[in-house]
Structure formats: C-alpha cells, structure tokens
Amino acid sequence: MQENNEKLTQNYAIYLRKSRADIEAEAKGEGETLARHEQILWDLANKSGLHIGKIYKEIVSGETIEARPEMQKLLKDVKESKWEGVLVVEVERLARGETMDQGIVAKAFKVSGTKIITPLKIYDPNNEFDEEYFEFGLFMSRREYKVINRRLQKGRELSAKEGKFVGSVPPFGYCRVKIKGDKGYTLKKNKEANIVKLIYDLYAYDNLSLNEITKRLNQMGIRPRKNNEWSVSTIKDILANPVYIGKIKWYARKEVKVYRNETLIKTRPRNSNYILVEGLHEAIIEEKTWKIVSAKRSLNSVPVVNNQMVQNPLSGLIICDKCGKKMKRRSYSQKGKEATLYCDNPKCDNIGSKFYYVEEKVIEGLKKWLQDYKLDYDKYLEEINTYRIKTIKKTIASLKEEEVKERNKLLTIYTFLEEGTYTKEVFQERKEIILRRIQQIKYVINENQKKLTQERSRENKKNIPQIRNIIDIYDLLKTSEEKNMLLKMLLFQVTYLKTEKAIKKNSDPTNFTITLYPKVKNCRKN
C-alpha cells in the first residue's frame, strides 16, 4: 500500500459489491467473489491496524445508487461522519454507473473528510491530488462500464440472431444446455414439455378458456415450476411464446428508463421491433396448432366494448387493507337487494359491507377534513369538462385501432382457409364473429362522436348555483361518474378493513374501518 503507513485506530467500515464481471466469473466456477474480497480487506485492516466497525455487503449488482440499498446506508453514515475511512477492493466498487451517482459519492466523502482505502492506495478527499485521482478513476471506470455493457448487449443480440437462447431462466418445458463445440446455450425439452402440449391442445382443440385450463391443471394436481397453483396469466404467457414452435424471441420487452414521481425507474414496455428467428432448439408445438391458438387468442383479445358510464362513485379509490387489491362494487338483479362492496381476492378474508354505508362514511370523513377548505367550483367544472373530452377522444382513438385490428384478422382467416388450417365451417364461424365485432365497434365509435359533440357545445357556466360546500356539491351531482371524478380530485385512496360480520341482532353494520388519504386540489383555506 502506498502512503499513510501510520497505524490508525479509529473506526473504519468495509464496503463489498459484486461487479457484472464477478457474476460471470462465478458462473464459470471461479469462487464466491464477496467472500474473497472480504478476506482481502480484513487482511488489509489487520495489517494497517484499522478497527472495522461495520461491513456493508451489497448482495445485488445494481447500476444506480437507488438500486443498491447498502450503498444508501453507507452514504448516510458517511455524511454523518461516522467513519474515518471506508475499505474497498477498488474505488470503482463505490460508483461505476451514472455520472450523477459518481458526483454524489465523491461529494459525500469530500464534505465528511472520509478516506477511501484500497489495497493499492489511500485516497484522502482533502488532498487535491488524491481528489483529482479519485474523480479521474471514477470517470475512466464509467467509460469502461459503458464499453463492457455495450459489448455485452451486442453479444447477446448476435447470439439471439444465431438462434441461441440468451436468457438466464429457460421457459417452462425446457432446460438450458451448453452448446457443444460452441459458445452459448440452447434449449432442451424436459418432462414439462408434455404439460405444454396439453395446454395447447386444451385451448386449440378442446376449446377451453384460459380460466377452464387453469382449473383443469390445478384439479389434475399438475404443478407449475415455481408456484403451487397455475394462474391465468401463466397460461396466457405460455400460449403466446413462440419458443414452443422452435423460435427465439429477443428484445420483446426491452428495458427503458423513465421518471415517475421524480424517481428514475426501469420499465419493460412491449416492443414491436423485436428479434424473431429460428432457434437451435427442438419445437414442442406443431405449426398448425400454433396458428389455431394464435387465431383464437386474437379473436378473444378484443376488450368488451360498451357505452356504459361509471356505476361506482368509489371506483378505483377503495383499497383492501388486508391484501392491497382494489375493492369492487357488486350489484344485484334481485329487487330490493342492495349493492355491496367486496374484495374479489379469493385468498383474502376482508369482510364486505353494504355499499351505501361505505360511501356515507367516506363523505362524512371528507366533510370533517374539508371543514377548513372551500372548493373552487368554477375550476372544478372546467377540469371535469376537459377530462371528459380527453377521455372520449382517447376512447375513440382506441376503438379505431381495434377496428383496424379486426379488419386485419379478416385477412388472416382467409389465409388460414387457403392454407387448409381452417375448414370452411370454422372459417365461416370466425368470420361472423369478426364482422359482428366490427359492427359493434363502429356503433360505439358513432355514439362517442355524439358525446364529444355534446361536450364541446356544453355551456358549463350557465345556471351554476352558488355552492361552495363539498357535500352540497356531491349530493347535487347526478351521475356516479361525476361523483367519482370529484372524489378522485380530493382523494388519493381510501383503505377499508372489516374483521367481524354484523349478523347478530342489534349489531352495527358499519363496524368497519376506513382511512382517507386526501389531497388538496382546487381547494383553498378559509
């Protein structure tokens, strides 16, 4: 170690983190990285007489500080000047990702005067030359990281185009195997392949729905790879995966970084420009079966199109306090039977209540909270009208896209008829379904066009009563949709909890607890 040979006795910390190269080396059998690095740093501490007060061991290999919880803890302690110095195997372990993160780390160590100690050098942030050396090291490591990452992504893309499997977890029905005499991996069928065939046959030839297939597999005692029971989403993913007809699909959900609520997060939106090539692996499903499944999926993928308004004034607001799901309103056709609020999670035991009791409590709670506020009613009406017009426009655009998709399906089923995939009877059946949906979509588009014209010509400010109390406004609103929009302007959400049924004589039907999470919008203090 260069310089600073004096035996120090103050408290020091150790920070350990794997790099991407370490993870790849471990996969080749080169040993556990963090244990090896920890031993190196303990030897360094013992040799230099440093007292180690804490070890921050980063289990994940995150690119940013936000993705590294131990680094966040370390920075907090560094800013509070808790440590005289921090031991790392190399400075790059502290920050190799975003330039902004490097600046945060450098500033925290400089302001607190915390030393960075590596086996090769001690960096003193109050020393001008050490500071420059440290910042230059971070800059170079950032460049190296980008080059390595770019090369890695390019390598994966080329491997995918060659038909190799480049994912880390093989699809259900396959195991990942090393390609003999070549780099990379491919897929090999395993015992699960018979279950994949069964799922496709049940959907294509037995005409079972996704729900029915899920129930059938669970009743048969067949288990998926990870969970105890099958789910509709898992079945849906299997039926949509072209890997089962011997193809490799890559970049279907390419990672994209976006800001949400001022926080940078990673998302994986659907990507239409994905790679789809013939794979090196053996197919499980025949091409004919795949085409039938694809056609049925496309016919069933159109969302239910209707022109109904919101029936639930609390729609999207009430959250189950037990499982976190949004609660629903159940109405009954039986005369005199009142609607109820319930959680549709079959594994949740939160007890439901009559809907109007919950609605009353929400309004009562809002009334108490808003007693010191007044509503800017004109602004509220303006926002409601803008919201309606925007919503109708989005609905029309979405419906037109669906109409185009349905017309494309007509061309597809003609192709299936010519290829012999469909019989004349199946073709006629599919054709009639598609034509009915096109007719239905066109009708709803026309209805929404009429609504748009009405909203644009609406004179919102005629005969507006001089009302400023929120409860008075709520009671005067005519539709559940209007009530729902008003509540969403005032509330983030409401949690609901009920643990005992009110079935005994003289028991309280409102023995539930709600918690309001309000927001101040279009309101001003009295």
The 10 Å CB-count burial string (b at 16+, else e) for 344-379 is eeeebebbbbbbebbbebbbebbeebbeebebebee
Question: Is 239 within 8 Å of 293 (Cβ atoms)?
Answer: yes
Beta bridge partners of 52: 12
Question: Is 112 within 8 Å of 78 (Cβ atoms)?
Answer: yes
CATH architecture of 11-155: 3-Layer(aba) Sandwich (3.40)
Two domains, one topology: 11-155 and 174-288: no
Domain extents for the chain? 11-155, 174-288, 318-525
DSSP string covering 239-279? HH-GGGGTEEEESTT--EEEEETTEEEEE----SS-EEEE-
CA distances from 244 to 143, 214, 235, 249, 388 (A): 40, 19, 13, 11, 44
Q: pLDDT tens per residue, the chain (526 residues)?
A: 444 444 444 689 999 987 655 555 555 444 477 888 999 999 999 998 899 999 999 876 666 777 788 889 999 999 999 999 999 988 877 876 666 777 788 888 888 989 999 998 888 878 877 777 777 766 666 666 666 677 777 878 888 888 999 888 899 999 999 998 888 899 999 999 999 999 998 888 877 888 889 988 888 888 898 888 898 889 999 999 999 999 998 877 666 666 665 565 666 666 667 788 999 999 999 988 888 888 777 666 544 444 445 678 888 889 998 888 889 888 876 666 788 999 888 778 899 999 989 999 998 888 777 665 555 555 656 666 776 787 788 888 888 888 888 888 888 888 888 888 888 888 888 888 888 888 888 888 888 888 888 777 764 444 444 434 556 677 777 778 778 877 877 787 899 999 888 777 777 888 899 998 876 544 554 4
CATH architecture of 174-288: Alpha-Beta Complex (3.90)
Tokens for 373, please give them. 């506020």
Question: Is 331 within 8 Å of 339 (Cβ atoms)?
Answer: yes
> Does pTM top 0.95 for this prediction?
no
Question: Is 444 within 8 Å of 351 (Cβ atoms)?
Answer: no
Q: Which alpha helices (H) appear in 30-112, and where do they start and end?
A: 33-48, 69-79, 99-112
Hey, is 23 helix, strand or coil? Answer: helix
